[in-house]
Structure 1
Amino acid sequence: MIKVRNLNFMYEETKEVIKDLSFDIKKGAWVSILGHNGSGKSTLAKVLVGLLKAQSGQIFIDDIELTEKTVHEVRKKVGIVFQNPDNQFVGVTVRHDIAFGLENMKIPQEEIVKRVDLYARLVGMEDYLKKEPQQLSGGQKQRVAIAGALAMHKDIIIFDEATSMLDPEGVFEVTNLIRKLNKEQGQTIITITHDLEFALKSDYALILSEGVLIKEGKPSEVFLEEDLLRQSKLTVPPGLKLYLDVKNDPKLKEQSELVDALWTFNLKK
């Protein structure tokens, strides 16, 4: 569904942020793009939706190459949810916010009402449609932003550090919603993050460092390389650290039940 080939991006022709980047993302996958601050991951998210223009390289969304001529067509397929929920609310109520993009698309009013009700229910916000932004928690605002993207029938949703400013309850809410959208609805998900614990729940991981793709693969394989994670300036969470310590211990690693239990514990957190 997504193909990126030899992508390069720099700011003001002086700071190269993305360097010869190539990767594929399959339809229906949940892919985490990881990296420390300044690794280029958030810039990549903006390039993928055409908010920034790459100096060279190609991006294909469903075989449509992203160009100045096709950017609006591509944006019909790709939605993005940013990290600060307060900056995303554009309506005076939840209902108005979910409907905002549909109104801009000139969708008939009857269809707008149907979609708002459907996707508010899907994200668990059907009882909040008359609420104003200041009456919602951060996690609830993120769920509204997700509903707005889904209502526009986006095939792909990018979450750019969408849980980084939330409290633990908000992180739990949004993480469970992402899992539900991906596993139950077949939604293609890209999560931009530096949180390994969060990324463990995805199907595939891409690790960026200084704009270069240094590793990709299943989290269960990639995250075993503790030296690589440290090199990438990614903080290993305590639960994963314990798992890695046991996995690398000559005696403990033979206890398969313990190893499996620790891995399951990390996935379910």
Structure 2
Amino acid sequence: MIKVKNLTFQYDDNREVIRDLSFEIPKGSWVSILGHNGSGKSTLAKLLIGLVEADSGTIEVDGITLNEKTLNEVRKKIGIVFQNPDNQFVGVTVKHDIAFGLENMQVPQPEMLARVHEYAKMVGMEEFLNKEPQQLSGGQKQRVAIAGALAMHKDVIIFDEATSMLDPEGVNEVTKLIRHLNQTTDQTIITITHDLDFALMSDYAIILKDGEKIGEGKPVDLFVNEDLLKSSKLNIPMGLNVYLKISQDESLKNNKELVEALWSFNSIK
């Protein structure tokens, strides 16, 4: 369980990025943090893993309040995958990259090798263990980063715009993997995104605007509120936009089969 209460943060230029933010994330859930550029969502990710320190408010992870003394303990519970796969590849090969965090944790070598192979296989990269970074696609690098986070057995994994720099094939690969993790593990998944199609697959969504929470709930409930989506400056996907227009049209909205088919198309997992 993650509990955020009355969180506030501003940068050195006195620009307030997070404003009195409160929410809870249940263990084992998939939660999307949504917002337009500048909404504070990536800063929130940094706050959750202690890369920056809040000016006020609290962050609690499994009953542990994040502060200078508990930072290492909290980081043992939370892993993060950043948006640019090129910036997070630290090993000379896929094998070394997945093992990097395990080496820092001083995991015994036999267990380390077992985990490297286990999680490389889970993300479909077992055949690439001896490949170098330049031999991989963006989606493959992102899979390696995810394998590295999984191998460390973190309770929570944050994906900070993990699909924003990928081509359509890479986006599809990473999306399928996150969905698989959500359905087959007890890990808490937090996805930082501005993509409504992607967020629609999560269990819960929180929408930020100018550092404040302007909406939260199940995506299927939030995303039918067109005024809320427009206020957040999020781009409404074509399929969802068609659904919203039809549901507002007196001559079409009573066609239940059409409306239900469109919603099923948008919300399919």
Give the partner amino acid of 1:30.
W
In 1, Cα distance between the equivalents of 2:227 and 2:209?
A: 14
Q: How does 1:92-111 map to 2 (within 5 A)?
A: 92-111=92-111
CA shift in 2, pair 1:259/1:186, >3 Å: farther
Shift of 1:13: 5.8
In 1, Cα distance between the equivalents of 2:118 and 2:252?
A: 49
Give the partner amino acid of 1:148.
G
Shift of 1:250: 2.2
Question: Alpha-carbon deviations, 1:42-96, whole Å to 9, x = none?
Answer: 0000000000100110000001000101111101110010000000100010000
Gaps of 5+ in 2: none
Match of 2:42?
A: 42
Question: Alpha-carbon deviations, 1:198-241, whole Å to 9, x = none?
Answer: 11111111000000001000110101111111111101010110
Give the partner amino acid of 2:237.
P
Match of 1:57?
A: 57
Other structure's SS at 1:91 match: coil
Q: How does 1:142-221 map to 2 (within 5 A)?
A: 142-221=142-221
In 2, Cα distance between the equivalents of 1:93 and 1:264?
A: 42
**Identity score, percent:** 70
Q: TM-score, normalised by structure 2?
A: 0.98
In 2, Cα distance between the equivalents of 1:18 and 1:154?
A: 26
1:66 aligns with 2:61: no
Give the partner amino acid of 1:93.
T
In 1, Cα distance between the equivalents of 2:65 and 2:13?
A: 23
In 1, Cα distance between the equivalents of 2:152 and 2:66?
A: 19
Match of 1:16?
A: 16
Q: How does 1:241-252 map to 2 (within 5 A)?
A: 241-252=241-252
Q: TM-score, normalised by structure 1?
A: 0.98
Gaps of 5+ in 1: none
Give the partner amino acid of 2:142.
Q
In 2, Cα distance between the equivalents of 1:113 and 1:104?
A: 14
Query: RMSD in angstroms over aligned alpha carbons?
Result: 1.0
Other structure's SS at 1:244 match: helix
In 1, Cα distance between the equivalents of 2:257 and 2:187?
A: 33
Moved over 4 A (4+): none
